[in-house]
Amino acid sequence: MIKHLKNKKLVVLLLVFAVIIVLTIIFSNTFSQKVKTSDKVSIEYAAYFENGTLIDTNIKEIRDKNMLDKGNYEPLEFVVGSGQLIKGVESGIIGMSNGSSQVFTLKPEEAYGLYDEKLIFKDINKRIQIKKNSVLSLQTFKSVFSKEPIVGDIIKDSSYPWDLMVESFDNSSVVIKNVVNIGNSVKLPGVSWGAHVEGFNNESIVVYQDLNLSDVVQFAVEGGPRMGVISFINDTTFDIDTNHPLAGKTLLFEIKVLDIKN
């Protein structure tokens, strides 16, 4: 009986010892796992300017302390080396262990790039002059508007900033008048900002673009839409700065690795 109890205790001790070994291996692998390229990683982060001013974070306590607007408190998940984040963070995180924290100082080249004067669109005219009348070939008119021209016919087409009217036509061409009045709002194609009809100049309509300093805008260029900020404006011209808002800045990042998936 005593021998049986001893054997039973030995078995229990061996089982406990085995569980401890397994748990040790599991936790050891978990915390010794290091980030490498192509891993899917979840992190907490806080980004600061050099002077310590907070830019952004997904850590609620830090965000609340700095009185930032409510943000996304979910862990940031990305694939290392995919280009989803700035290169300084993606390269700096390589080699970090699961659960570890680190502070990075990133120069502009590793963050959002150097500030580039060439990325400023300068001296754009605030006033655009558009001819009061335009002439289309009869074939083009039929192709564009899918109808025969009729003198006095008002044409409404979303691709034009205002109504059009057929003023005259013959066997080869159609004269179209832009129907506008001073003060009319105008939606210019390819841009995010508004405009209005300021007046008339000889055979032209003068359109004034409504913009303010520091407005964030979008506009079409060859290759696709661009975002920018109105960095200079007066009564006749304006500039659009398309540099990233953090271009030229040295930044500090506090990173904690929450999870690593191979």
Give me the CATH number covering residue 81. 3.10.50.40
Counting beta carbons within 10 angstroms of the beta carbon of residue 57, is it exposed (0 to 12), middle (13 to 18) or buried (19 or more)? Answer: buried
Model confidence at 67, pLDDT cuts 50, 70, 90, reads confident
List the domain range (segments joined by +) for residue 93.
40-116+247-261
Whether residues 151 and 52 fall in one domain: no
Of 191, 236, 250, nearest to 215 by C-alpha is: 191
Residue 132 and residue 231 in one domain:
yes
107 and 192 in a single domain? The answer is: no
> pLDDT class for 69, splitting at 50, 70, 90?
confident
Quick one: pLDDT band at residue 65, thresholds 50, 70, 90?
Answer: confident
Per the domain annotation, does 102 fall within a domain? Answer: yes
Average pLDDT over residues 77-86: 93
Structural domains in the chain (count): 2
Interatomic CA distance for residues 55 and 53, integer angstroms? 6
User: 0.85 exceeded by the pTM?
Assistant: no
Among 95, 112, 97, which Cα is nearest to 56's?
A: 112
46 assigned to some structural domain? yes
Is residue 71 included in any domain, yes or no?
yes
Residues 100 and 159 in one domain: no
Residue 234 sits in the same domain as residue 154: yes
Same domain, 76 and 127: no
pLDDT category, 80, cuts 50, 70, 90? very high
Tell me whether residue 17 is in a domain: no
pLDDT of residue 22: 41
pLDDT tens for 182-209 read 999 998 989 999 999 999 988 999 999 9
The string of pLDDT tens digits covering residues 91-137 is: 999 999 999 999 999 999 999 999 999 999 999 999 999 999 999 99
Domain-located, residue 134: yes
